[in-house]
Each structure stands twice: as C-alpha cells, then as structure tokens.
Structure 1
Amino acid sequence: MRLRLLLLALGTFAVGTDTMVTAGILGQVAHDLHVSVPAAGQMVTVFALAYALLAPVLATLTTRWSRRRQLLTALTVFTAGNALSALAPDYATLLATRVLAAAGAALYTPNASAAATALVPAERRGRALATVLGGMTVATALGVPLGTYLGRADWRLTMWLVVALGAGALLGLAVLLRDLPATAPAVALRERIAPLRDRRVLAAVTTTFVFFVAFNTVYVYLATATRPATGGDAGRLSLLLLVSGLASVAGSWLGGRAVDRLGTRAVLLAGSTGAALAFAALPWLARTMPGALVYAAVTPLLGWSVSVALPHRLASLAPASAPLLLSLNSSALYLGIAAGGGTGSAAITLLGERWFPLTSSVLALLATVLVATTTRRPTTPGPTPTTTTTTTPTTTPDPAPRVPTAS
C-alpha cells in the first residue's frame, strides 16, 4: 500500500519538477534555439495555460475510463511529451511538445489524488493525500535544483530527467496499481464553473490568480533577476533554487498551522504584504549572493503559506461544494503561472532586467487589497451570560473544515 502511494507521489514529483524547473534552464534553451530569454520563458506560459484549460476538459472526456487507465494514459502522454521536448529541433516544436506534456499532467494529478483516497481506509485518507500531493512540494526542494544542475551543460538533460521520473512512475503503477474502485461520474463543465456566480467565490478565485501572477512573474525569470549575484553560474543558481525549494516545503507546513491558529484572512494579508515587500527589495538584494539567498528563503516561505490559505478560504465558503471550488482554485493557480511568464517577459522589456520585479510587488499589493476588501474580520462572540431564564438548548456552529491544499 505504502509503495503504491509513493509511486503516485513519484508521478506528482515528476509533474512538479516539469512545471517549475524551466526557470533554471531558460538561458540554455534561449542560446541553443536562438531565441531571447523572455521568449524561452513562454515554455512556462504554454505549459501552465494548457494545463489550466485542459484539466476540466480531459476530466469530462475520460469519465467512463477506469482510474487505472486514466493514470497510465496520463503518464504515457506526459512522458512522451517530455521526451519530444528533449528532442525538439526548434522553438516552435518545443512549445508544441509542452502542450502535450501539460495534457498528461492535467489528467494525472487529480486522478492520482483520487486513487490515493481509494487505496486506504477512510481514516487514513488525509495522510494518503498528503503523501501524493507532497510530491509537488518536494519537487521544488529537490527536482528543480537537480534539474537545473543537470541542465547547466545541456538543458535537454533536464528534460530527460523528467522523462526518467515519469517512466519510473508509469512502470511501477502498471505493475502494482490494480483493483481500484470504479471512478465516480465526472462533473459536467457547466456545473464545474457554476460557483463563479457567487461573488465571494469569484473574488477568491481572482485573488488566487493575481497572487500567482505576481509570484511567477519573478520566479520564471529568477535566473535573470539574480544574475548580478550568481554571475550566470549554474551552481550558484542551483543553490538559490535549493534554498527556495526548502523554504517552499517549510512555508506549506507552517501555512497550514498558521491558518488553524490565526485564520485565513490574517495569513493572506500578512503573506501577500510580506511578498510585496520582498519583490520590491529584490533589485537590491540580487546585487550580492547573501542578499539573493535571503530573498530565496523568505519569499517562498510567504508564498507557500498563502498558497495553503487560498484554497482553505474557497472551500470554507461552501463546504458541500469543496471539490468543485478546489478545482477552480487549481485552474486559477495554473492560469496565474501562465500569465506570470507573459507578464515577466513584458516587464523585462519595459523595465529592464534589474527593475522588473517591481511589477510583482504591485501585483502582490493588489492581491492584498483584494483580500482586505473581500474578506471579513473574524467576529468575537459577545460575553456569555452567567444565568439564563430559559431552558432552550443552544447550538455551537461547526468549526471550519480542514481542507487539503490543491496544487
């Protein structure tokens, strides 16, 4: 049982690595394919946009498939897409292969989460989900720095690393993953987007989108932003990405506990405000390696704390519709990643390589304003009377549900 969960996590680790490792190899891709670094950054935009748009479509088209068939097909498409990326002879072909890889990823991740819950008793489903979705977070700590290190000589080696991870998960699941319960009927596309009629849901989804645009405007072009500190050395960049990855894991862990203790609103306001300040300081921090390391440690810690609070806020609006709301959060997240690549490219063109992080600062402040104006302060109950004159029983509201983070 544990082995099968780890194999599912290996697949999400591969997807997470593929999504984020591009930030460390843009220079090599640009040089090899004779395009600009901002143009190479569109690899991230294309992948994330395709993921966001294809996820609900593929979920609908594969409704009648068994869970095992969905997972194996997804990993096959994902692995093949990355192999074709590694072999791409030109820029246009590379972008096309990123769409194929994204299609596999969009089909795999939600089905891996569903398979995890089917493999264990009800009382252990939370831990099973944490194991599988943890692959995405660990990818930032291990997969991205490793992929960047391998890609310092040839970016295609990074793509082959992702191929190896995907193929390993595919082979293991093909052998060991059997006898899963039948899949539940898929939710129609119209029903999936119906909650957007609620203004509170729309505000929350918009906040997710804006924050991830802000975060990825810098992250996609982190090598460019920190070049004064790294001097273009791949080893130093790998160190920055390693620190960033470890801070991401810590931020995810601390964010969940902060939400429980302080509330969603407090975490969102503190995290987005702190991120805005970090982005604003980056043009100065990036002048030296110690400063860049401070940025790499602080910003993901804040960003991943916010990433835990965002889905928690959405699901708490309508607990009965939590699965639908979390899927909307995931789509907004990947749309934000896609827009971040384009926004970063435009910001570099307009503001230059040193000052473009200021765009992220403005966007993070916009996310802060959205949170402040669309969420309510927690109310403090009034004093409890010491005596009562009636025997009418009182009721206590149910506590807000604990919601797993959607990636």
Structure 2
Amino acid sequence: MSAVHDPQPDLARGQLRGLQGVNLASSLDRSTIAPMLLVIAADLRVSVAEVTVVASVYYLTYGLMQPVWGIVSARVGTVRTLRLTLAGAGIVGLVSALAPDVVTLTVLRSIAGGLFAAAIPSTLTYVGATVPVERRQQPLADLMAGVAVGMAAATLAAGWAAELISWRWAFAGTAAAGVVLALLLRTLPELPRVPGAAHPVRALLSAVREPWTALVLVLGFVEGAALTGVLTFIAPGVEESIAGGAGLAGTVVAAYGLSVLLFTRVVRLLSRRLTTPTLLVIGGVAGAAGFGVLVLQRGLVGGVAACFLLGAAWAFMHSTLQTWATSVAPAARAQVVSLFAACLFLGGATGAALSAGPAEDGRYALLFGTTAFVFVPLTLVAALARRRYLRTRPGR
C-alpha cells in the first residue's frame, strides 16, 4: 500500500456538530426498538422472539452494508454518499412507521438499517481524513457524544411513546431527522480523493491482508457481540424484573446513553494523559462489571448501575478501537473504517440472535453472566495487542 500521511487539523466546530447530528439520528434509529420489544409484540400479536428478528435483521443489514458504502464513498465521495443515504433512510423509515404486520416491518426496517449504515463510518472517515492521529480521539469522542444522546433519547422517548401513544411515532421521528440532515449537510465540503480511490476493492483487500488490520476487525466484531448485541435485552430484562412497563424500563436503560455522554468527556481529558492500552483496560473492566451487576440484580438500582458501567465501557473501549481503525490502514481509510463498523454491527446482530433464546426463556442471569465472561479475554487481547502495535507505529 502507498503511504498516506495523516492530514493537519481542518475540521471546524460547526462541521463537527453536523457530524454529531448524523450520529445522533443514526443512534436514535438503531436504539428505538430495544425498549419497545414487548409493546410491538403485543400490538402486532406476535412473540417477543419474532419482534427480536426485526432488531436482528436491522443490525444485520446495518452491518452488511457498511463495507458497501465504504467502497461507494471512496468512488463518489463521502459527503455525497452520506447525504443520499440519509435521505433514503428517512423516506423508508417513514413508510416503516405504517407497517401493518411484523413481516412488513422486518423488511422495511432492514432497508432503513442498510441505508443508515453509511452514517457513522462516514463521520469517522471524515474525522480521520481531517484530524491528525495524535489528536483524533478527542473529536471521535465528540462524535460518540452524539451517539450517546441518541441512545439516551431513544430509550427514554421510545419507551414512553410506545406505552402512551404508539411505537410507530418513534420510527417516524428518526426518519424525519434523516431527511432534515440530508438537507443541512449540503454545505459540508467533500473530502479529496486518496490513493486507491479508483480501485477501492483492491485497496480494501490489500489492507485486510495486513495482520493488524485483521485483528482490529476481529476485536470490533467481538465487542459488538458482547456489548451492542446483548444491550438490546437489558430493557426487557429490567421490565420483567420490576414488572413495570416499557416506559419505566426505557428510562432505566437511558442511563446508558447518559453515561456514554458523561464518559466521553472523561475520555477527552484522559486521552491526553493515559496510553490507549490503559484506556482499553478501563473500558473492559467496566464492561465485565456492568454485566456482572445484571447477573445479581436487574431492578431499578441494578439496572441503572449496570447501564452506567456499560456506558463507561463503550466510551473507553470503543472510542479507542475506532481510533485504531481510522489509522491502521490510511490508504484505505474509508473502506477499513466501514468494514470495522460492519464487524461491530454484525457482531451486534450475532449477539442479539444468540441472546434471543435465553431472553425468551427468561434466563437473563445466564445471558448477562456469559457476556461478562467474554469481556475478560476481549480486554486482555485488545490491550496487549495495542501495546505491541505501538512499538512499531506512531501514536498513543
């Protein structure tokens, strides 16, 4: 691969806020279904497992389309691809809010997920192309703040909207946000072409043959399975434990989004002082502890405490892994970042699918205990590998 030097900082505050808005909308759309699983199942007169398929298929298409949009954006432009997919996701999302049955809902939500798939990797690529690697984790943490607000708002608003009005309004709201953002981003400058843009598939294949790139992708998949996939079942687990409604359970899980928002601020400060292997360890310990709490207690206090710890896990571990993904193969940055996001959400789809059975049977202690155990090898491998990587590459 040709050497590509990281650029000098050239990202205005207003541009960063626009990219945060994209992450917020994408996060809203992805997070709305978790607190509404039981309500949608009752309204459409199907089982929770059938509605879980809607979430799983959404995560699947969201993951599968990531590398596709990475290749497309390398050819036609990151901003152009982002605007077109946001507009498309908005239109399909509005139609999905009218779905009369679970099959139609599954199909339409899968299409919306495939289109929203371009959102987060495009924003990461944009930051990676405009901010040098030694300063990159700070604006990436800011992007995660947009994700955090989306998670918090989705779990809080979707749960209460489903219980008091209709679950359909939650999908309609995120769809409208996608259309508005597609219009607002028309002033965002397009990124310059990079070496390999004319042959994006060839550049991607060359990148993934590198051992370090392959390892980062595997870590993203495992993190997705252990965190984003199983996270879907925290709201139902809390709802069953407290015998409350979707609104109250969603409010509990909203602590996760608020925690991410808080700890992204902490990561911004600590990233200047701590090495990235240390940040990975902090995140991994928080993840294991969070799911460990859910093994013992899934009431209001336990649910909030667990979500708080899992928010810290996401802020510390994921921000570090995604920063690694933006720098491990700069000559194919758009493609590798998109593939990393694909691995994350394919892992999430896998985790959700594997968790559906235990959740349906009410075996939440087994589900959360297994997930806590997975965090141990994930943390050790990630931290030790990052330490070794830094011996030969610049960065922290």
What 5-or-longer segments of structure 1 have no aligned partner?
380-396, 403-407
Using the size of structure 1 for normalisation, the TM-score is 0.79
Task: Answer whether contact 2:294 2:368 (CA < 8 A) is retained.
Answer: yes
- Structure of greater relative contact order (alpha carbons < 8 Å, 6+ residues apart): 2
2:227 alignment counterpart: 215
Question: Do the aligned partners of residues 260 and 346 (structure 1) sit closer, same or farther apart at CA in structure 2, a change above 3 Å counting?
Answer: farther
8 Å Cα contact 1:252/1:304 also seen in 2: yes
Superposition CA RMSD, Å: 3.6
Q: CA deviation at 1:342?
A: 0.6
CA drift at 1:254 = 2.5
- What is the CA-CA distance between 1:41 and the residue it aligns to? 2.0
Match of 1:163 in 2: 175
Q: Residue 77 and residue 224 in structure 1: after superposition, are their counterparts in 2 closer, same or farther (change >3 A)?
A: same
What's the counterpart of residue 360 of structure 1? 371
Which residue is equivalent to 1:383?
Answer: none
Q: CA deviation at 1:299?
A: 1.8
Separation of aligned partners in 2, 1:208 and 1:318: 15
Say whether residues 1:224 and 2:236 are aligned partners: yes
Is the alpha carbon distance of 1:78 and 1:292 closer, same or farther for their aligned partners in structure 2, counting shifts above 3 Å? same
Q: 1:405 maps to which residue?
A: none
CA gap of 1:69–1:221, structure 2 versus 1, over 3 A, is: same
Q: Does 1:58 align with 2:63?
A: no
- Change in 2 beyond 3 A, CA 1:183/1:6: same
SS in structure 2 of the partner of residue 89 of structure 1 = coil
Normalised by the length of structure 2, the TM-score is: 0.81
Corresponding position: 1:332 with 2:329:
no
**1:338-380 per-position Cα deviation (integer Å, ceiling 9, x unaligned):** 112112113325772443212212322231343366454799x
Mean Cα deviation higher: 161-170 or 64-73:
64-73
User: Residue 288 of structure 2 is aligned with which of 251, 276, 285?
Assistant: 276
In 1, Cα distance between equivalents of 2:191 and 2:217: 32
Change (3 A) 1:41 1:255: farther
CA distance in structure 1 between the partners assigned to 2:207 and 2:141 by the alignment? 26
User: 2:317 is matched with which residue: 297, 306, 314?
Assistant: 306
Query: CA separation of 1:238/1:97 partners in 2, compared to 1, >3 Å: closer, same or farther?
Result: same
Whether the 8 Å contact between 1:13 and 1:143 is mirrored in structure 2 is: no
Match of 1:289 among 292, 297, 300: 300
Offset, 1:320: 6.1
Query: Which range moved further: 321-330 or 276-285?
Result: 321-330
How far residue 94 of structure 1 moved from its aligned partner, in angstroms, is 1.2
- Structure 1 equivalent of residue 21 of structure 2: 10
Taking the aligned partners of 2:78 and 2:366, their CA distance within structure 1 comes to: 47
Indicate the structure (1 or 2) with the bigger Cα radius of gyration.
Answer: 1
1:69 Cα deviation from its structure 2 partner: 4.4
Residue in 2 that maps onto 1:199: 211
**Residue 135 (structure 2) pairs with residue 103 (structure 1):** no
User: Deviation at 1:26?
Assistant: 0.8
CA distance in 1, matches of 2:280, 2:330: 20
Deviations 1:254-307 (A, max 9, x none): 235444433222222332233223212313221x32222211212211232111
Partner in structure 2 of residue 47 of structure 1:
58
The structure 1 residue matched to 2:91, chosen from 50, 62, 80, is 80
List gaps (5 residues or longer) in structure 2: 1-11
* Deviation of the 1:144 alpha carbon: 3.4
Query: In 2, distance between residues paired with 1:253 and 1:36?
Result: 40
Could you tell me which residue of structure 1 aligns to residue 43 of structure 2?
32
* Deviation larger for 316-325 or 273-282: 316-325
> Any idea what the Cα deviations from partners look like across 1:210-263, whole Å, max 9, x if unmatched?
122111343101122212554232332232133211101123332354444332
**Does the 8 A contact of 1:147 with 1:161 survive in 2?**
no
> CA offsets per residue over residues 89-143 of structure 1, 9 Å max, x none?
11121111122112321234444566689999xxx99987766664323212334
**1:262 aligned counterpart, secondary structure:** coil
Is 2:374 the counterpart of 1:347? no
Number of positions where the alignment pairs a residue of Structure 1 with one of Structure 2? 382
Q: Structure 2 counterpart of 1:336, which letter?
A: G
The aligned amino acid for 1:161 is: G
- Which residue does 2:8 correspond to in 1? none
- In 1, the alpha carbon distance for the partners of 2:191 and 2:387 equals 41
* Distance in structure 2 (CA, Å) of the matches to 1:178 and 1:369: 40
Q: Is the 8 A contact 2:93 2:175 kept in 1?
A: yes
User: Identical aligned pairs, as a percentage?
Assistant: 24
- Measure, in 2, the Cα distance between the counterparts of 1:118 and 1:262: 24
CA distance in 2, matches of 1:44, 1:334: 11
**Residues 26, 37 of structure 1: 8 Å contact kept:** yes
Distance (Å, rounded) in 1 between the aligned partners of 2:277 and 2:72? 37
SS of the counterpart of 1:252? helix
For the 8 Å contact 2:144–2:315, the answer to whether it is kept is no
Structure 1 distance, partners of 2:330, 2:73, is: 26
Counterpart position of 1:386: none
The residue type paired with residue 17 of structure 1 is L
SS at match of 1:356: helix
